[in-house]
Amino acid sequence: MSQVTFENVGKEYVSGTWAVRDFNLRIGDGEFVSFLGPSGCGKTTTLRMIAGLEENTHGQIRFDQDIVSDPQGRKFIAPEKRNVGMVFQSYAVWPHMNVFDNVAYPLRLKKISREKMRADVAEILKIVELSGYEDRRPDQLSGGQQQRVALARGLVMRPRILLLDEPLSNLDSKLREKMRRDIREIQQKFKLTMVYVTHDQKEAFQMSDKIVIMNGGKIVQVGSPAEIRGQPVDDFVKEFISESN
């Protein structure tokens, strides 16, 4: 289980230049939350702060009761100790490794037994419907299959939180539809806390329990798809969500 709490979180790259500012949010355990907003609004930066790949300069981030980052309190938990999985837009699978080795990679760093590794990889490959593809190399897979490999690698450690940064942007629209359903299904099956970054309104509205609309590094509105559709807080939200229709 894991909930994520942001308290007055900020990321100031250069003095006076904020990528993210005054960010307050609670992501519930097992919730599917999307960060939605135009390019440059701070989505990726926020996601990377959850993973610990980026350090917030202000405020505090907690996983349940545990403080994972608090610069003023001089606390910072390293990314590899956060048990967070991540899937990026670019497939980010290693071209020289076959499917098995790509998916097993995070487990190798853990030094578990060979049998346990095989069992864990087999189980995850089954979930992403890639059983039987263990020996294929990425260049022998379609884009959708490569992205499933990336998804399997993000899941194999049984992370407490899975972060996805525009993971479907490179796929054609038919495959994107299918992957949206698959990802949602996996999220519900594992009861994962999932944070999904997208600039695609349709995607966010279709998949999420909760949508966080961002603009200029700040949260503009938080709500369920129905709440945001029914009561957009301002013209920015109104226009941004109407672009999709």
Residue number with CB closer to Mg ion (52 or 138): 52
Q: Phi and psi (nearest 5°) for 211? A: -115, 135
Sign of CA dihedral 195, 200, 205, 211: positive
Sign of CA dihedral 188, 194, 195, 198: negative
Q: Could you tell me which of 9, 14, 15 has the C-alpha nearest to residue 62?
A: 9
72 binds, among ligand ADP, Mg ion, none (CB under 5 to 8 A by kind): none
Residue number with CB closer to ligand ADP (44 or 201): 44
Q: What are the CB-based long-range contacts (under 8 Å, 24+) for 118-125?
A: 120/156, 121/152, 121/156, 124/152, 124/155, 124/156, 125/99, 125/152
- Least CB distance from residue 165 to Mg ion, whole Å? 6
Residue number with CB closer to ligand ADP (55 or 129): 55
Residue number with CB closer to ligand ADP (41 or 127): 41
Chain residues binding Mg ion by CB under 5 A are 44
64 binds, among ligand ADP, Mg ion, none (CB under 5 to 8 A by kind): none
- Least CB distance from residue 17 to ligand ADP, whole Å? 7
Chain residues binding ligand ADP by CB under 6 A are 13, 19, 37, 39-45
41 binds, among ligand ADP, Mg ion, none (CB under 5 to 8 A by kind): ligand ADP
102 binds, among ligand ADP, Mg ion, none (CB under 5 to 8 A by kind): none
Decide: residue 95, CB within 10 A, 0-12 exposed, 13-18 middle, 19+ buried: exposed
245 binds, among Mg ion, ligand ADP, none (CB under 5 to 8 A by kind): none
Q: Could you tell me which of 2, 19, 23, 3 has the C-alpha nearest to residue 11?
A: 19
- Least CB distance from residue 169 to ligand ADP, whole Å? 12
